[in-house]
Structure 1
Amino acid sequence: MCRIFGHFDALATPHELRSVAAAQRHGGPDAQTHAYGAGWALGNNRLAIMDLDGGDQPYTLGEDIVVVFNGEIYNHDELRQKLSARGHTFRDTCDGSVIPALYAEYGAAFPEYLDGMYSVAVVDLRGEPTLYLATDEVGMKPLYYHWDAARRHLYFASELPALLSFRQVGATPAEAGLDAYLATKTPFGEQTMFEGVKVLPPAATVRVTRAGGMHVTLRPTTGARAPHCAEPEAAAHVRSLLRTEVHRLTEADVPVSAITSGGLDSSLVTVLAAEKVRDLHSFNIAYTGTWPSDERAFAREVAERAGTTHHQVEIDPATFPSLLADVVWHLGQPNADPITLSTYALFGAVRDAGFKVAITGDAADELFGGYDRLKKAMDAPFGTDWVPDYVEALAAVPRNLRESLYSSDYLGFVTANGSAAEEITERLRASTADRMTTLTEFEIGERLPAYHLRRVDHLSMSASVEVRLPFCQPSVVRYARSLKADLKIDGTRRKKVLYAAADGLLPESVLNRPKQPFTLPITAMLQPGQALFDHARDLLAEDRLRRGGKLNPRKVEELFRLQAESPNDRASLAIWSLMVHELWLDQFCSPAGTVAGSVPGVTV
């Protein structure tokens, strides 16, 4: 697991390359290396997980093929055997070292042979210099880039703060960014909150040359309809797939741990991992004091069932304001889910306990229909327009409220240019697939990588911890994509087939408990007298908002008054979201749109 960066047909000084590497060193503290030539450079920050004494990057094949890689390739042994039979030799057994030979054999099709999570950069100097970039089919390992089409310059990095360390990449806020953020909790698709900065979509293969420019190709990700129509057979297959993938994903040359929230998904992964890992350590997070939705008892019960060594992590809400600046910096752009604070603190505790790998249950809700918004959309009668309510459920701030918070100038801009919510609504309505397929493809292809996986990746790697995601493995994703709707959501049941797969493996209390989100109880924490409430008031002060020009200070003040008098989830999430956005502006964007100065509390 690593961080990668580079440029192609562009210029960057050695100092710039060092600055870029330093900005994401937390994700690869074990080695920092780069290679460069006329008009190109590839760099790597290494977090040593496999073959601790090998794995030196960039990987090379002769003098003309140079590769840097971020992620884990789980079928590397199989690939190494096949490539060895074709005459290739390898200097170590690290997973990424197979990529140069794989590229030499299959060219641009090399990602089709990789099973794992990855972002890869290949420079091929045979003939016209060519750069290839590739991402895994779910988007577990993000890759951000800036492409100057006029000059044919490309810059890329695994994290936004690193990419912005290139002098040619500006930190200008996207004018539509605030509305997109409040409408979906973070920008979806290839967009970011910065003008001229994008993120590669899942399953992307990119080819760049001076003559041809930049071309992005999306590889196919869907499979045939699942052969199982009955719940018992489908559940047995899901259990078998998960067991196989969890066991594969526990293989590492460093100790592996598990994140155990106490819900179905992480609990199932923990129990399956414990079958393979002797003395598995599990981690759960809770908050000092008494707060709603505390899950520690469920997590403890799962740990006892699985026989893990359990770590109960506890953080004090009084420390949240100081943590929040670090969280926003590592994410590089706003994410409105309060779980970001919990996630950041949790992976710090995993690192401090001596673990560099954690296995989690992320992505099960997207694959198997676990969210309320999915059930409500599926329950809408045939012939009715289910799309607006579904899109509204994605928002951090409901449409009527967010538009009331905008200044007249910004509301005019959004009205004239169209909102992110309207664009998503039009795309969903235009789908010719059945309703469940439409929802599943949007959840997996758009929301999961943007909102969920980038958050998990950046906040785990901020602590030098690699997260492994069994539910994101191709075998599981493709099967879940192909399942009939009534095997996911049926009557009052959600994640129907996944619950059936877990039956007998988990305590009844976990299987029968009501679903609740693994998040921060911000409605209780954003009240007068709490540290977060005071911090939000400071960040959203009237003079600051007037300078920003996009928000109406009087309406924001009304929001605080409402939350103080009658605390509720709607107002608290709105305040939280605006606070995170303002902090992001502070850390990354000066009034002139240039990169802000050093960030207090963050060492790079």
Structure 2
Amino acid sequence: MCRIYGHLGGSLAHHHLRAVSALQRHGGPDARFGAAGDGWALGNNRLAIVDLDGGEQPYRLGREIQVVFNGEIYNHDVLRRDLHAAGYVFHDHCDGNVLPALYHKYGLDFVDHLDGMYAVVVLDLRAEPKLVLVTDDAGMKPLYHHENPERRELYFSSELPALLSIPGVDWEQRDEGLDSYLTTKTPFGERTMFDRVRVLPRAATAVYTRSGGLKISRRAEGSFPVEGGDLAEAGGRVRDTLRAETRRLALADVPISTITSGGLDSSLVTALLAEKVPHVHAFNIAYTGDWPFDEKAYAREVAARCGATYHQIEADPATFPDLLGEVVWHLGQPNADPITLSTYLLFQGVHDAGFKVTLSGDAADEIFGGYRRISDAVGGAEDWPNGYVEALAAVPAALRDRLYTDEYRDLLRRNGTEADRITRRLRGAGPDRLSAITEFEVDERLPAYHLRRVDHLSMAHSVEVRLPFCQRSVTRLARRLPAEQRVRGREVKRALYAAARGLVPDSVLERPKQPFTLPITSMLAAGQPLHSYARDLLSGPSLADRGQLDPKAVAGLFDAQAARPNDESALAIWSLLIHRIWSEQLVSGAAGERSAA
């Protein structure tokens, strides 16, 4: 697991490359490697997980093929054995060292042989120099890039603040960015909050040359024919597939741990991992004091049932205002879900306990149909896309409209909104609602909203997260299930519940689904430290600098929250607060201050 960066075209001084590396060192504190030539550079910060004494990047085949890589290749032993039989030589046992030979043998099709989570960049100097950039099927490892066609340059990095530190990278904000953020809690798809900075989509293969520019293609997934069998049989297939993948993901040269929130998904991963790793260490987070949504009793019961060593991470809400800036910085883009703070503190606890690797239950809801918005849409009226898109929002459409200035509303009418785009996509996807929603969730929301958050906030503490539900075999099995084995009425994730019976305590299976998040409605009540902090930051003339938000309407949010605390105004305040912190850090020059530090 690493952080990578580099460029083709242009010229970066050594101190600029060192600055990019320094801004990502938290994700790879064990070693720093790099190489540079005429008009190109590749760099890597290493978090040593496999072959602790090896792993020097770029991996090379001669001088003409060089590779930097972030992630894990789970089938590297099989690949190395096959490549060795074909005459290739390897000098260590690190998982990434198979990549140059694999690319040399198969060309752009090398990615079809990989099983893992990865962002890979190949520099091929055999003819016109080119970069080949690839991402895994789920989009577990982000890769941000900036192309300057006029100067014929491409820059890339694993994290946004590092990319934005490069001289010449355009920081211009996207005009529609604020509305997109408030509509979906974070930018979806390839777009970021910046006009000319993008993130490579999942399952992508991109080729860049100075003469031809950047060409991105998406690898075909094939179809998902429905499999037969009843619910019990489906549960058995899901359990067996998850068990096999969880055991494969438990292989490392460092100790393995797990996240146990107390919900179904992480509890099942914990139970299956405990079969492979006796007395595995399980981590849960809770909040000091008496707050809603406390799940630690369920998590503790799961750990006891599995024989896991239980770790309770306690977070004090009084410290949250001081932590917000750090969390927003590591994300690189605003994310309106309060779970970001919980996630950051949870992985800090994993790191402080001495673990570099942990398994998580993320992505189960997307592939098995676990969200209320999905069941509502599947069984809803003809205008279901509107309700589904509204359920994604940090701030409901009517409230967004009241918060915007007249000028910003006019701009959105001219340019179109994110809600319009998503609604059109869903309506044009055909009559199978669940398939259309799953495709959207997996393609756009999961990588942007979940996987980048998990990646950035775990690597902020030098922790690698492995995701059994993102493994290809699990995802494809879930998408081949008959719709009613995923969602029926108000019943969600039916096959996954069937898979967990006998492995997970009944109390977890029978409890109502609740969010793993901060209780911000209580924390933003008048008199709480977070309320005062937010009101100070979201007041004054600077709020109107870009002409998008009406300061009087924002002040009205605080009045409403003080008079009658409620979820809608609390999440709206939280979302605007996060955006304001992000704007000050990455738009008003704080990124440069952080780099200099």
**Which residue, out of 521, 524, 527, partners 1:523?**
521
CA deviation profile, 1:170-214 (whole Å, cap 9, x unmatched): 322211100000000001000001120000000000111122221
TM alignment of 1:355-504, pairs within 5 A = 355-381=355-381, 384-432=382-430, 434-504=432-502
Structure 1 pair 170–217 and aligned structure 2 pair: CA distance change class (3 A): same
Q: Is the 8 A contact 2:224 2:479 kept in 1?
A: no
- Give the conservation status (yes or no) of the 8 Å contact 1:26–1:462: yes
**CA distance, structure 2, for counterparts of residue 201 and residue 186 of structure 1:** 15
Tell me the residue number matched to 2:271. 271
Corresponding residue for residue 507 of structure 1: 505
Alpha-carbon offset, residue 116 of structure 1: 0.4
The 2-side partners of 1:201 and 1:484 are apart by: 28
CA contact (8 A) 1:222 1:481 kept: no
The amino acid across from 1:311 in the alignment is H
Matches within 5 A, 1:51-450: 51-381=51-381, 384-432=382-430, 434-450=432-448
Does the 8 Å CA contact 2:247/2:273 hold for their aligned counterparts? yes
CA contact (8 A) 2:328 2:581 kept: yes
> Does the 8 A contact of 2:136 with 2:202 survive in 1?
yes
8 Å contact from structure 1 (residues 254, 356) kept in 2? yes
The Cα of 1:596 is off from its aligned counterpart by 4.3
In the alignment, the residues of structure 1 paired with residue 280 and residue 554 of structure 2 have an alpha-carbon distance, to the nearest angstrom, of 47
**Contact in 2 for aligned 1:117/1:136 (Cα 8 Å):** yes
Q: Deviations over 1:88-113 (max 9, x none)?
A: 11111111010011001001111111
The code of the aligned residue for 2:586 comes to F
1:577 Cα deviation from its structure 2 partner: 0.1
> Contact 2:72/2:118 (CA < 8 Å) preserved in 1?
yes
Distance 2:522 2:71 in 1: 38
| SS of equivalent to 1:5 | strand
Partner SS state of residue 202, structure 1: coil
Quote the sequence identity (%).
60
What SS does structure 2 have at the residue aligned with 1:195? Answer: coil
Could you say what secondary structure the match of 2:593 adopts? coil
1:342 aligned counterpart, secondary structure: helix
* Amino acid in the other structure paired with 2:520: I
User: Is the 8 Å Cα contact of residues 222 and 478 (structure 1) preserved in structure 2?
Assistant: no
Displacement of 1:491: 2.6
- Relative to structure 1, the CA distance from residue 433 to residue 108 in structure 2 (aligned partners, 3 Å threshold; closer, same or farther) is farther
**Contact 1:164-1:595 within 8 A present in 2 as well:** no
Find the aligned partners of 2:349 and 2:268 in 1 and give their Cα distance: 22
> What's the CA shift for 1:297?
0.2
* 1:199 counterpart letter in structure 2: V
When structure 1 is superposed on structure 2, of 203-212 and 362-371 the one drifting more is: 203-212
* CA distance in structure 2 between the partners assigned to 1:220 and 1:48 by the alignment: 32
Is contact 1:147-1:154 (8 Å) kept?
Answer: yes
Task: Assess if the C-alpha contact under 8 Å between 1:29 and 1:464 holds in 2.
Answer: yes
Separation in structure 2 between the aligned mates of residue 244 and residue 58 of structure 1, nearest angstrom: 32
Give the length in aligned residue pairs: 597
The 2-side partners of 1:481 and 1:122 are apart by 32
SS of equivalent to 1:3: strand
1:1-20: CA deviation from partner (whole Å, max 9, x where unpaired): 00100001222111111010
Determine the structure 2 residue equivalent to 1:565.
Answer: 563
**CA shift digits 1:474-515 (9 cap, x unpaired):** 111111122221110013310000000001101110000000
Please state how far the C-alpha of 1:595 moved relative to its aligned partner. Answer: 6.4
Contact map agreement 2:146 2:169 (CA 8 A) in 1: yes
- After TM superposition, the structure 1 stretch with the greater mean CA deviation from structure 2, 45-54 or 423-432, is 423-432
How many Å separate the matches in 2 of 1:275 and 1:437?
33
Q: Distance in 2 between the 1:435 and 1:533 partners?
A: 40
- Distance 1:485-1:98 versus aligned 2 partners, 3 A rule: same
Amino acid at match of 1:518: F
The letter for the 2-side match of 1:588 is L
Cα distance in 1 between the residues matched to 2:309 and 2:221? 38
TM-score (norm 1): 0.97
Alpha-carbon deviations, 1:296-338, whole Å to 9, x = none? 0000000000101100000100100111000000000100000
Q: Which residue of 2 aligns with 1:45?
A: 45
Q: In the alignment, which residue of structure 2 is the partner of 1:544?
A: 542
* Matched residue type, 1:211: S
For 1:467, give the aligned amino acid.
Answer: V
**Counterpart of 1:303 in structure 2: which amino acid?**
A
Pick closer, same or farther for the CA change 1:18–1:174 going to 2, 3 Å.
same
- Pair 1:237–1:325, CA change in 2 (3 A): same
- The Cα offsets for residues 257-294 of structure 1, whole Å up to 9 and x where unpaired, read as 10000000000000100110122000000000000010
Which stretches in structure 2 are left out of the alignment for 5+ residues? Answer: none
**Which consecutive segments of 4 or more residues in structure 1 shift more than 3 A?**
594-597
Amino acid in structure 1 at the alignment position of 2:299? A
Partner of 2:593: 598
Question: Does the Cα contact within 8 Å between 1:226 and 1:479 map onto a contact in 2?
Answer: no
Contact 2:366–2:446 at 8 Å: present in 1 too? yes
1:576 alignment counterpart: 574
Deviations 1:221-256 (A, max 9, x none): 244314234211111110011000111101100011
Distance 1:348 1:296 in 2: 18
Note if contact 1:334-1:580 (Cα within 8 Å) is conserved in structure 2. Answer: yes
CA distance, structure 2, for counterparts of residue 570 and residue 224 of structure 1: 38
Query: Contact between 2:3 and 2:44, CA under 8 Å: does it hold in 1?
Result: yes
Question: How many Å separate the matches in 2 of 1:363 and 1:525?
Answer: 28
Supply the distance in 1 between the matched residues of 2:265 and 2:322 (Cα, whole angstroms).
31
Amino acid at match of 1:376: D
The two structures, once aligned, show a CA RMSD in angstroms of 1.2
Equivalent AA in structure 2 for residue 54 of structure 1: G
Aligned CA distance change for structure 1 residues 214 and 433 (closer, same or farther; 3 Å)? farther
Q: CA deviation at 1:430?
A: 1.2
Instruction: Find out whether 1:14 has 2:14 as its counterpart.
Output: yes
* 8 Å contact from structure 1 (residues 369, 495) kept in 2: yes
The one-letter code matched in structure 2 to 1:20 is: V
Contact 2:227–2:482 under 8 Å retained in 1: no
Which amino acid is 1:422 matched to? D
Quick one: distance in 1 between partners of 2:9 and 2:327?
A: 33
